[in-house]
Structure 1
Amino acid sequence: MKKYIAYYRVSTQRQSLGLQAQQANVSNFIQSSMDNILISEYSEKESGKSNNRIELNKALSECKQQGATLIIAKLDRLSRNISFAFELKQSGIEFLALDLPQFNTLTLAVFMGLAQQERELISTRTKAALKVKKEQGYKLGRPNASFTNEQINNASIRRKEIADNNNNTKRAKLMIAALIKSTKNKSEIARQLNENGFRTAKDKLFNAKAIDRIVKRYSLY
């Protein structure tokens, strides 16, 4: 038997219909299997930008006590800041977002592993690049330095490698691959990524063109 504790959030007093829709989605999921059981429900009216929420904290506390999974109708009902979801992973609490079932505790583990790997790779590559430059006699930061065509070409290749290995790009690629199974609308995919705290390699908001570029580059169809 799988135990669940539901959490609902609306931003204003006027969004009662939004609350009812969330409750209906959770109810449909619970009834979809005889093994599902809904233990408790928590709801509150709070901005998604705030991570200090009384009812959510109560739900998380009961999840720990009951060994239950936190279930939410939409990922942005939990938090618009994706780093908050990562904190949930570290707390050991499993959660399920009904609108993005692929984005669960296991997926978070993959993202966190990629983030750690990226930090280590950046450090290693930076040290190696500086060492090579010093051995070649370059003075870093020299304003009048001149570069050969080969150096310029290598720099271009290097920038592409950095973009491909960027932690933001890696995480976004996984999320886009999950979302594109349910919608091909790139503007909608960009909206969902932006609402959940994802950013491009240059730390910008996503748009349809950026989504299309990643889809084509990594053949995500």
Structure 2
Amino acid sequence: PECSKALAACKALGAVLVVAKLDRLSRTVSHISRLMETTVFKVATMPEADSFQLHIYAALAEQERKFISQRTREGLQALKARAAQGDVESVAKLNKQVEARRKTALQNTIAVATQAVVDKADKVSQSYADAIKSAMFDGVPTLSALAERFNTLKLPSSRGVVGNWQAVQVDRLCKRLGIAFP
């Protein structure tokens, strides 16, 4: 996503995109070739390279990526074979890998759930913005008075409880909305 933003900015400004290394821009010759047709870019590690040289370096980078992928697959297969034969160290490495994947998946799940809670809280907070602004217009002087007004209007709190507003809750709500209440 950030690369797309940078490419769009370069096109809009007529600027040259500078990348640290060619393989940070793309790892396939076809993608590099398409980019060369639409975008002017320079590679910091080879600033004088022309399009022919960039194609060659892109081809080498693509091939190296394939070699790395193949070596990784072969190494994992060998590790699994040693583990199947009862090698304790190999079993431990595989278990560590499984645990790392599980932990990453759990962290991603927690991040998504946390963002959902924040989004819901933001949405609920927005529903109170008009009531706060109306109270300010009407001259409600304090957070306690605003809490009492919410209780009188029978506005449910973020947890759905009616008549339970307190000044501290109203203060947090105003801060979340970026409203400076008197």
Q: Provide the TM-score with structure 1 as the length reference.
A: 0.31
Q: Which has the higher contact order (CA 8 A, sep 6+)?
A: 1
With the length of structure 2 as denominator, give the TM-score of the two structures: 0.37
Larger % of helix: which? Answer: 2
Which has the greater radius of gyration?
Answer: 2
